[in-house]
Chain A
Amino acid sequence: MSAAQLQLVSGVEGPTRTLHLWMRQRDRLRPLFTATWEILSQRFDAAEMDAWAGAVLDLANVNAGPSCLIAYWDASTSDGATEIAPLLGAARSGAEICRHAGAQAATDAFKALSAARRMLGSGAALSRWWRTMEKLATQAPESLAATAHHMAEILRPGTIAAFESFVAAGLRTAAGDRRKRLAFFSLQDELAQRMVARDPGAVTFSDVETELKAFLTALYGEVPLLRSISTDESAQTPQRRAAIAGPLIRLPEIYRGVQDDAARALFRAAAAHAQAHLALGRARFAIGQLKPLQVALVNLIEDARVETLAMRRLPGLRRLWAPYHVATPTGVATAPMLLARLARALFDPDYVDADGFVGKGRALFAAALPRLDEHAISREIGMLLGNDLGQMRVQFNAKTYVVEPLYRDDGLGLWDLGDDTTSSAETLELFIEALRPEQQESSDGPPREQDAANAAAEPGKARPAGPDERGVVIARYPEWDRVDAIERADWTTVREVAASLGDAGSIDQALEQASVLRGRVARLVRSVRLGRTVRLKRQQDGHDLDLDAMLDAGIALRSGETPDLRVFRSAKALHRDLSALLLIDTSESTRDRLASGATVLDVERLAVALLAEAMEELGDTFGLLAFSSDGRDDVRMTSIKRFSEAYDRDCRARLAGLSAGLSTRLGTALRHAGGVLGKASTSRKLLIVLTDGEPSDIDVPDPFDLIEDARRAAIGLHAQGIDAYGVVLGRAGVEAATRIFGRRNTMLVHRVEDLPARLSELYFRLARR
C-alpha cells in the first residue's frame, strides 16, 4: 500500500484511521505493516479490520514495542488465523502479558502461538491456552519466555487440560522459588519432562465426564455433581483417590498408568462407588475420640455396606468393582495389607482367607446384615476391629495409608468435621495430610482489576465513575424533556465499556444445573427447526393432489363451469429472517439477592445464556448488549456479543463478567439499540429489553421524565420497523414498562426465578410471528 493509499484509508473514522496515522510516523515498521494490512484486508471486512486495528493500538498502548507488534502481525497473517475473534483475544492476552512480564515475553508468546494453534486449534482450547499464559505471566513472569520457547514440546500431550495442569504443577512445585520455576518451565526438571512425555492412551476426567454423569443418573436416579481434582503427576506420590465433599463427587483428573478402556472402567467404578455413598449411604460419622486406624476401618466397613446395598439393587455392579479387589491371603500381614484383604473378604464371598482378623471382620459384618440399612453398624464394627488390630500391634501409618482398592474414595467425606477440638481434629488432619497432598484448588489467576474495583465499591449505592473507567464515546443521542416538551439534541453520551471477563465455566455450570429447562428449550429449538415448512393448498403444481380442490374442480366440470385448475398441494420451507438484540439492564438493583441466594443479575445471566444457546443453535442473528448509566454524560454500553460474532467461550466469559452497578437510562439505551439493530439487513428486527424496574438516573429527580423519554424512544423504534419488547422482573417496574412498550409488548415475570423459562418461551413466540 502506498502513501497515497494510506491517505485514502485515513478517511475512515475509528481505530483504523488512528492506527494508520500512527504508522505514518514509524518508517521502520511501515513496510511490514502495509504488507500485513493488505493480506488481512483480503480476509476480513472493514468492521473486523477496525477491530483488528484497535487490537494493534491496544498493544502499542502497553508499550509492546516493534518486535512484539511484528510478532503479532506474523501471528495474524499466518494460515491458522482465519477468524478475527481469536486474533483479538490474542492481542488482549498479549497486552496483559506485556503488562506483567514485559514486551519480550509477549513477543515470545506470539511466536509460540503457531505451535499452540497446531495442537489446540483456534477454538475454546486456544482461549484457555491464552488464559493460562496470562496466569503464568502474572505468577511467574520470568518463566514465560522459557515456556513459550518450549511450547511445541510442552503441548505434546495434546490437550489443553494437560497444559493447564503442567503450568499449575510448575507453579506449585517451585513454591515461589524463581530458579526452580525457571528450571521447570524450561524442561530441565525431571517432573516437567515426565509430564510432557506423551501418553496417547490416557483418559482424562473431561473425556468421560458426560458419560459418567449419565451413567450415575441412570444407576441411582439422581443427577450427580462431578468435579475433577488436579492430580500430582509425579510417580512418587500414591495414586489419588476419589473424594466426596458434601454433595460433590471429585474424581482424579487422570488415573496414572491406566489407559483406554481400563481407565474408563476405573472412572465408572470410582463414580459408581462414590455415588453409592451419596444415594444409599448418607452417613455422617462424628469423629469423636477415634484413632486413625479406627477411622480407616469405619470407612472400610461403610464402603462394604453401601456396596452390598447397591449390589442388592444392581447385581451387575459386582462385575464393575471385582477386578480391583486383588488382595491375596499371603505375604506380610501389615495393616494396609490386612485392610485390603478385609475389603476383599467383605466384597467377595468366594474369597478364602484364614487370617483371624479378616475372619472376625467377616463374621461381624455377616451378623450385621439384617441391619444393613443403618449406617451405625459401620461405626460399631469399625471400632471393634480397630481395637483388635491395635492389640495385634501391627504398624499403621496414617500418613502413608491410602484406601484400597483403587476405585474407592478416600472416605473423608463421611466424617463430620464439625467444630470438634484437639485430639479428633488432629486425627483427621493426619488423614487429610496423607490423603490430600494438594487440596487447594488452583484459582483462575488473580481477579481482574475491574472486578476488584467493583467488589470494593459500596454495594447498594450508585457510585460515581472515575474518569479512567469511562469508556470510548461512541454516540450521542437526544433526550425528551417532558417539562419543556422539547427534544434536546445530543443530550446523552453513550460510551462503550469493554466487558470484563468472567469465568465462562460458571455459565456452563449454571446451564448444566438447569438441565431440565435446557432440555425443554432444546426441544423447542428442535421443533422449530423441524417444523419450518408450511403447507400450501390449491397450488398450480405440487407433490400431491389437494383432495378438496379436486372435488371442487370435478363438480365444476360436471356442472359445466370452468374448473379451477389449482388442484395441488405443496410445501414451502419458511426461512427465518430475523435478527434479535437482547438489551440487559445491569443497574444497581440487579444486585439484589433472591431467596435462593442468587442475585437478580445471576438469574438474568442464566436466562440470557439459555436463550443465547438456543438462538445460536437456530442460526438466528443475535446480539447481546448490557447497559447502565451514571448521568446523561455516561450511558454505558457493554457489548457481550456482536451480531457478527459467533457465540463462543469469549462471549460467555463476557456474560459471566457482567457486574451490577449504576442506574437505568432506558431511553438512551433504546435509541442506541435501535441504531445497532437498524443496521441489520433482515426483514424482522426484534429488540427484547430485560429490566427489573423503572428507568432512573442520578441526574434526573423525577423518574417520570425518563419513562416519558423511553416511551418516545420506543415509538421511534417502532417507526424504524423494530419490534421492541419489555420483560419486567417483579411488579415494581410493570407500570412504567407498560407505558413505555405498550401493554401487549410487555411481559411481567412475577417470580424472578421463572425468568429463564419465560424468556425463552417469549422469544420463540415472538420469533414465530
Chain B
Amino acid sequence: MILDSYRIATEPYYQPQGQEIATFLAAYHERLPIMLKGPTGCGKTRFIEHMAWRLGKPLITVAAHEDMTAADLAGRYLLEPSGTVWHDGPLTLAVRHGAICYLDEIVEARQDTTVVIHPLTDARRILPLDKHNEIVPAHSDFQLTISYNPGYQSAVKDLKESTKQRFIAIDFGYPPPATESAIVARESGADADLARLLVTIAERSRNLQGHGLDEGASTRMLIHTGRMVRAGLPLPVAVQSGIVLPITDNPDIRAALSDAIEACLP
C-alpha cells in the first residue's frame, strides 16, 4: 500500500502517566482531532508513535516551521517532462489514504497556514484543494493530531481561538519522579539509582523554570545524560554537558544550577 513506509513496525516504548491512552483511543474512535500539550522532551512524539503502532495506522509527521505555506501541507503542481503533475502534500496524503497526520509544534507555522486544517477538524472532514479543484473527503482512518508547547505561549505566538477550540486536548507534564526514573532507566540503560539521581537533578532545574530558565531539563535530556554516563563518562561531566550547558547561557544561572546539582550528588 502507498503508506506502508509510514507504518511503525515495532512497539515504541511508552510509559502511561494517566488517562492519555484511553483519551486518545476514545477520540480516535470518534475521529476527533487531538492536541498534545506539554513542554519539550516530555514524550509527546513518542506517545503519538506508540498510539499509531497500537492502532496499526500509518503515521505521517510534519514538523511545522515559520516558512511553511499551505501548499507545503496540501500539495502543489510540479513540473515533469510531460507537463504539470499534481503532487499531494503530506496532509493530503494522510487524508486521502487514511493515516494519522501529526503536525509537530503547530504554533511555529504561520496562522494562515493553520487555517487549512479547519475543514478537516469539524463535522465536514474534508480537505478542499482549490488549486487542484478538488475536495478530498477524509478517509475513515484519517485522524489529525497536533502538538503545541504552551511554554512558547505569548501574544505573538499562540493558536487562534478558532483553531484551539476544535481539538480534544491531552496535557503532558513531567511524569512523577518514580515513573520518570523508570523511564530514564529503561531508555538510557542506567541503573535505578542513577536514574533516580538524574530525576532529582532535573527537579532542581525545573524549580528554576520562570526564574531564570524558560524550561527545566526534559526527560529526553535525562535519558541522553544517562546514556553518556553509560558510555563511560563520569557523572558530573555528563550532567554538565548533558544538562547544564545546553539549558542556559546565563553565567549566574549556570553557576547556581551547577551548585544545586552538586547538592544532589551523594
Interface-facing stretch out of A107-115, A336-344, A523-531: A523-531
Say whether B77 faces chain A, with CB atoms less than 8 Å apart. Answer: yes
Say whether B78 faces chain A, with CB atoms less than 8 Å apart. Answer: yes
Say whether A519 faces chain B, with CB atoms less than 8 Å apart. Answer: yes
Interface string of A499-524 (1 = CB under 8 A from B): 00000000000000001100110011
Report yes or no: A527 in contact with B203, Cβ–Cβ below 8 A: no
Interface string of A476-501 (1 = CB under 8 A from B): 00000000000000000000000000
**Residues of B contacting A213 with CB < 8 Å?**
211, 256
A272 to B212: give the CA distance in the assembly, Å: 18
Say whether A555 faces chain B, with CB atoms less than 8 Å apart. Answer: yes
A315 to B196: give the CA distance in the assembly, Å: 13
Say whether B208 faces chain A, with CB atoms less than 8 Å apart. Answer: yes
A221 to B264: give the CA distance in the assembly, Å: 14
**Residues of A contacting B234 with CB < 8 Å?**
none
Say whether A33 faces chain B, with CB atoms less than 8 Å apart. Answer: no
- Known contacts A531-B156, A558-B83; is-contact A316 B264 (Cβ 8 Å): yes
**Residues of A contacting B5 with CB < 8 Å?**
none
Report yes or no: B253 in contact with A219, Cβ–Cβ below 8 A: no
- Known contacts A523-B214, A535-B67, A551-B76; is-contact A215 B260 (Cβ 8 Å): yes
Say whether A616 faces chain B, with CB atoms less than 8 Å apart. Answer: no
A599 to B264: give the CA distance in the assembly, Å: 43
Interface centre among B203, B263, B264 (most CB of A within 10 A): B263
Least CB distance, A205 to chain B, in whole angstroms = 14
Report yes or no: A551 in contact with B207, Cβ–Cβ below 8 A: no
Least CB distance, A82 to chain B, in whole angstroms = 29
Least CB distance, B69 to chain A, in whole angstroms = 8
- Known contacts A217-B212, A515-B211; is-contact A315 B76 (Cβ 8 Å): no
Count of residues in A whose CB is under 8 Å from the partner chain: 41
Count of residues in B whose CB is under 8 Å from the partner chain: 38
Say whether B160 faces chain A, with CB atoms less than 8 Å apart. Answer: no
- Known contacts A219-B260, A761-B155; is-contact A547 B208 (Cβ 8 Å): no
Q: Which residue of A lies closest to B257 (CB)?
A: A218
Query: Which secondary structure characterizes the binding site on chain A?
Result: helix
Q: Which residue of B lies closest to A544 (CB)?
A: B67
Least CB distance, A278 to chain B, in whole angstroms = 14
Report yes or no: B77 in contact with A218, Cβ–Cβ below 8 A: no
Report yes or no: A319 in contact with B157, Cβ–Cβ below 8 A: no
Q: Which residue of B lies closest to A317 (CB)?
A: B263
**Residues of A contacting B252 with CB < 8 Å?**
210-211, 214
- Known contacts A531-B156, A761-B155; is-contact A211 B265 (Cβ 8 Å): no
Report yes or no: A315 in contact with B266, Cβ–Cβ below 8 A: yes
Report yes or no: A316 in contact with B210, Cβ–Cβ below 8 A: no
Report yes or no: A272 in contact with B263, Cβ–Cβ below 8 A: yes
Residue from the list B84, B157, B203, B253 in contact with A551, Cβ < 8 A: B84
- Known contacts A316-B265, A516-B210, A527-B154; is-contact A218 B256 (Cβ 8 Å): yes
Interface string of B75-95 (1 = CB under 8 A from A): 011110001100000000000
Least CB distance, B159 to chain A, in whole angstroms = 15
Least CB distance, A700 to chain B, in whole angstroms = 38
Say whether B170 faces chain A, with CB atoms less than 8 Å apart. Answer: no
**Residues of A contacting B69 with CB < 8 Å?**
548
**Residues of A contacting B262 with CB < 8 Å?**
316, 319-320
Say whether B220 faces chain A, with CB atoms less than 8 Å apart. Answer: no
Report yes or no: B256 in contact with A524, Cβ–Cβ below 8 A: no
**Residues of A contacting B83 with CB < 8 Å?**
558
**Residues of A contacting B155 with CB < 8 Å?**
524, 761, 764-765
A319 to B212: give the CA distance in the assembly, Å: 25
Say whether B204 faces chain A, with CB atoms less than 8 Å apart. Answer: yes
Q: Which residue of A lies closest to B197 (CB)?
A: A315
A229 to B257: give the CA distance in the assembly, Å: 25
Say whether A183 faces chain B, with CB atoms less than 8 Å apart. Answer: no
Q: Which residue of A lies closest to B156 (CB)?
A: A527
**Residues of A contacting B156 with CB < 8 Å?**
524, 527-528, 531, 764, 768
Interface string of A261-288 (1 = CB under 8 A from B): 0000000100010000000000000000
**Residues of A contacting B212 with CB < 8 Å?**
214, 217
Least CB distance, A88 to chain B, in whole angstroms = 33
A527 to B210: give the CA distance in the assembly, Å: 16
- Known contacts A211-B255, A527-B157; is-contact A218 B204 (Cβ 8 Å): yes
Report yes or no: B205 in contact with A218, Cβ–Cβ below 8 A: yes
Interface residues in A744-769 (C-beta closer than 8 Å to B): 761, 764-765, 768
Interface residues in B142-199 (C-beta closer than 8 Å to A): 152, 154-157
A314 to B262: give the CA distance in the assembly, Å: 9
Least CB distance, A12 to chain B, in whole angstroms = 45
A554 to B253: give the CA distance in the assembly, Å: 55
Interface string of A200-214 (1 = CB under 8 A from B): 000000000011111
**Residues of B contacting A520 with CB < 8 Å?**
154
**Residues of B contacting A547 with CB < 8 Å?**
71, 76
Interface residues in A366-421 (C-beta closer than 8 Å to B): none
A218 to B69: give the CA distance in the assembly, Å: 41
**Residues of B contacting A524 with CB < 8 Å?**
154-156
**Residues of A contacting B264 with CB < 8 Å?**
314-316
Say whether B259 faces chain A, with CB atoms less than 8 Å apart. Answer: yes
A535 to B69: give the CA distance in the assembly, Å: 12
Report yes or no: A515 in contact with B210, Cβ–Cβ below 8 A: yes
Least CB distance, B155 to chain A, in whole angstroms = 5
Interface string of B192-232 (1 = CB under 8 A from A): 00000000100111011011101000000000000000000
Interface centre among B71, B156, B265, B266 (most CB of A within 10 A): B156
Least CB distance, B65 to chain A, in whole angstroms = 12
Q: Which residue of A lies closest to B79 (CB)?
A: A554
**Residues of B contacting A768 with CB < 8 Å?**
156
Q: Which residue of B lies closest to A557 (CB)?
A: B79
A221 to B205: give the CA distance in the assembly, Å: 9
Least CB distance, B66 to chain A, in whole angstroms = 8
Interface residues in B96-148 (C-beta closer than 8 Å to A): none
Residue from the list A214, A319, A555, A558 in contact with B253, Cβ < 8 A: A214
Least CB distance, A339 to chain B, in whole angstroms = 26
A220 to B259: give the CA distance in the assembly, Å: 13
Q: Which residue of A lies closest to B78 (CB)?
A: A551
**Residues of A contacting B152 with CB < 8 Å?**
523
Taking A221-B203, A315-B266, A555-B84 as known contacts, 18 extra A-B pairs with beta carbons closer than 8 A to each other, sorted by chain A number, are A211-B252, A212-B256, A214-B208, A215-B256, A215-B259, A218-B205, A218-B207, A223-B211, A315-B263, A315-B265, A320-B263, A519-B211, A523-B152, A523-B214, A524-B156, A527-B156, A548-B76, A764-B156
User: What are some 9 contacts across the A-B interface (CB < 8 A)?
Assistant: A210-B252, A214-B208, A214-B257, A215-B255, A218-B204, A219-B260, A315-B265, A316-B263, A519-B211
